[in-house]
Structure formats: structure tokens, C-alpha cells
């Protein structure tokens, strides 16, 4: 659960983006949906589906000095446990984690960030960004984690990103021999076209591509993308001022092994002290998420999900505290 704007700490835009791993990222999203560059038309917000969790969580963050943040997290939830020949069973699970985030700050050449979390294992994340030019940037992301002998959960990604007024592009290489490149071009003020290619080496040895388009007119935004893996996605977004958005999407997957389609519709309403999101899909799954700032720096989150087809439900309650957000 990560409220998009309620209770956001008063940090610089570059520091906040670096903490989330989005600093310098192009406006292409990993789901195949594309966003137009910042100019000549500001991009519309992506579809914001409700974040639903099961159980209870408490998160607290405190600043120590200008560059060090300490965070605590306590979670009580249920996790699925696989069973042989049957549906996964849900088992109660609880964790506590303590972490420290070091943001040395911005320099004329870029930024760095280090994060360490401890629950039952030690996880370390290092991120860095180096500006090659006013419109190009080199990014590196390294994640280290403890694991049983013979396993290596460590991950890395190195990417070069470029963004100009009418186009943006990204090329990256990641652990697991994953190579990816994408680009998006603003053809007219209303139309943007782009594409993405990827290759996964090793045992999988597979590759593919995606083509996408985006059309914006007044308060309406329509996107379409098609993947060589047999997936088609269509989305529609309508904004009513700066407070309310309605959206719908259609995802179709057709391969030799399966054929599936899901249609969704939802809304996103933002107010001065709260944000409400909800959705309904063709499988009979209803989701709702409420985020309310009850005091300066403290956010209360309520979420629920009802799956009529499988006769199951989820309910979540959480409290997040960040004194710097008041």
C-alpha cells in the first residue's frame, strides 16, 4: 500500500523519485501502456487500480538529519501455501522489519541512495543516477539479499535513459540475461506511438516485442498495445477536473495454450484529506481502497476485495506515519 500523494514527505522531487526507483525514468510503463512526454502535452495519469491487502500493517518513518531516514514496519497478514492436487491454503503470517535509507543528496552529476531492511533476512538496495547530459542519464540498481546456500537472489539493472521534448527512450540490461529497449515518440499533440523489444537469455531463451499507441483528446485518453506474445490491451481514461477520474480497460491474452480476457472499470477520487479508489472486473472481483489523512503526517488506509466467483474476500487496515509529511 503506497498512497500516491496523501502524506507524502516534504522532500525534493529528485530525492522522492530516487527513493521509489523512478528518478529519471521515461514515461513508458512496464505494462505496455505508454505515456506521452512532458511536452508538448502534459501526460495524463496512468490507471490507478485500488491497492488491496489482507490483514493489518503499521508503518512509521522518521528523519534523522537531512539525509538519513529510519523506517519500521509491522505486518499481520495471510499468505497462500501450495498444496498437492488442491487449492492453495492460506496461512497466518507476521513480519517486522527495520530499515535505514541514506540519501546523500543531489550533486551536479547525479544522485545515490542506499537502503537496508532487516526482517528475517538482510536486504540491501543501492541505487545511483548519473547525468550524462541535460537529456540523458545512466542509472544503476543493485539488490542484495541473504539466501540458502546454492541460491542467489541478488539482482542488478543498468539502464541508459534519454528524454527530449518529443520523444523518450530507454535501454537496459538486468540480471538473468534480460535485455530491454523501448522508445516513445510524440507524433502530434494528440497522438504518441512507441514500441518495446526484449530478450531473455539463459534457459528461457526467448524474446518479443510490443507496439503501442496513445490518443489524447480534451479530457479523454485512449491507449492500445499489442504484444507478440499474444496479448492485447486497451484502456480509456476520462478526467473530471483535478479530483475525479473514471477508467476502463480490456486485456486479452490468446496463445496456443490458453485464451483469456478480462474487462475492468474503476474510479479514482481525490480530496483534500482523502482519496478513494474502486474497481469492478468481468470476473466478479470488486475492490475498494480508502486513504485518509487523519492527522498531519498520519494516514489511515482501509481496503477490501470481494471475489464472487471464488467466494472469497479480503479486508485490510493500515496506519502509516511520517512526521515530515505534516
Q: Which residue has the cell 477490501?
A: 304
The reported pLDDT for the residue numbered 110 is 59
Q: Tell me, what's the pLDDT at 89? A: 81
Cell of 229: 506474445
* Dist. CA 233–CA 250, nearest whole Å: 6
Residue 1 scores a pLDDT above 60: no
Cα 287 versus chain centre, distance: 18
Q: Global pTM? A: 0.73
Residue 208 pLDDT greater than 90, yes or no:
yes
Q: Above 70 in pLDDT, residue 155?
A: yes
User: pLDDT-derived band of residue 35, with 50, 70 and 90 as boundaries?
Assistant: very low
* pLDDT tens column, 62-117: 888 778 888 899 999 988 888 777 777 888 888 888 888 887 765 555 567 787 77
CA–CA dist 250, 308 (Å, integer): 20
Q: How confident is the model at residue 16 (pLDDT cuts 50, 70, 90)?
A: very low
For residues 41 and 317, the model is more confident at 317
Give pLDDT, residue 193: 96
Domains of the chain: 13-325 (2.40.160.10)
Cα distances (angstroms) measured from residue 313 to each of 65, 83, 226, 307: 43, 20, 32, 6
Q: With CA atoms as reference, report the closest residue to 195 among 180, 206, 205.
A: 180
pLDDT value at 42 more than 60: no
For the record, the C-alpha cell of 69 comes out as 531516514
Q: 243 or 42: whose pLDDT is higher? A: 243
pLDDT value of position 39: 35
Tell me, what DSSP letter sits at residue 325?
G
CA 34 to CA 43: how far, in whole Å?
Answer: 10
Burial 194-217 (b: 16+ CB within 10 A, else e): bbbebbbeeeeeeeeebebbbebe
pLDDT per residue as tens digits for the range 162-180: 999 899 999 999 998 899 9
- What are the tens digits of pLDDT across the range 218-248? 999 999 999 998 999 999 999 998 899 999 9
Q: Which helix (H) or strand (E) holds 15?
A: helix 13-20
Count of all residues that appear for the chain in the document:
326
Dihedral (Cα; 236, 241, 242, 247), 10-degree rounding: -20
Higher-pLDDT residue of 113, 143: 143
pLDDT at 261: 93
What pLDDT is attached to residue 241?
Answer: 87
Mean of the pLDDT values across residues 126-155?
A: 83
pLDDT at residue 91, rounded to an integer:
86
Amino acid at each position: 500500500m503506497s498512497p500516491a500523494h496523501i502524506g507524502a514527505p516534504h522532500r525534493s522531487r529528485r530525492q522522492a523519485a530516487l527513493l521509489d526507483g523512478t528518478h529519471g525514468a521515461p514515461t513508458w510503463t512496464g505494462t505496455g501502456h505508454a505515456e506521452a512526454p512532458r511536452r508538448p502535452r502534459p501526460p495524463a495519469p496512468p490507471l490507478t487500480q485500488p491497492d488491496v491487502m489482507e490483514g493489518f500493517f503499521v508503518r512509521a518513518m522518521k528523519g534523522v538529519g537531512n539525509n538519513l531516514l529510519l523506517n519500521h514496519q509491522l505486518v499481520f497478514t495471510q499468505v497462500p501455501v501450495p498444496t498437492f492436487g488442491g487449492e492453495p491454503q492460506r496461512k497466518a503470517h507476521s513480519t517486522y522489519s527495520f530499515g535505514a535509507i541514506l540519501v546523500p543528496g543531489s550533486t551536479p552529476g547525479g544522485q545515490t541512495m542506499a537502503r537496508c531492511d532487516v526482517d528475517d533476512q538482510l536486504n540491501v538496495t543501492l541505487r545511483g543516477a548519473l547525468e550524462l547530459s541535460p537529456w540523458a542519464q545512466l542509472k544503476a540498481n543493485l539488490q542484495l539479499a541473504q539466501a540458502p546456500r546454492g541460491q542467489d537472489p541478488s539482482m542488478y539493472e543498468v539502464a541508459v535513459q534519454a528524454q527530449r521534448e518529443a520523444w523518450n527512450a530507454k535501454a537496459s540490461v538486468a540480471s538473468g540475461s534480460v535485455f530491454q529497449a523501448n522508445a516513445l515518440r510524440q507524433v502530434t499533440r494528440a497522438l504518441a506511438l512507441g514500441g518495446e523489444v526484449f530478450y531473455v537469455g539463459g534457459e528461457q531463451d526467448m524474446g518479443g516485442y510490443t507496439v503501442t499507441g496513445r490518443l489524447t483528446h480534451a479530457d479523454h485518453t485512449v491507449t492500445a498495445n499489442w504484444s507478440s506474445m499474444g496479448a492485447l490491451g486497451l484502456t480509456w481514461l476520462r478526467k473530471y477536473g483535478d479530483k475525479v477520474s473514471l477508467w476502463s480497460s480490456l486485456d486479452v491474452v490468446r496463445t496456443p495454450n490458453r485464451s483469456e480476457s478480462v474487462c475492468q472499470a474503476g474510479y479514482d477520487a481525490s480530496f483534500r484529506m482523502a482519496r478513494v479508489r474502486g474497481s469492478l472486473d468481468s470476473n466478479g472481483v470488486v475492490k475498494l481502497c480508502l486513504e485518509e489523512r487523519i492527522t498531519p503526517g498520519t494516514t489511515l488506509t482501509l481496503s477490501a476485495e470481494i471475489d464472487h466467483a471464488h467466494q472469497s474476500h479480503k479486508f485490510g487496515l493500515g496506519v502509516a506515519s511520517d512526521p515530515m509529511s505534516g
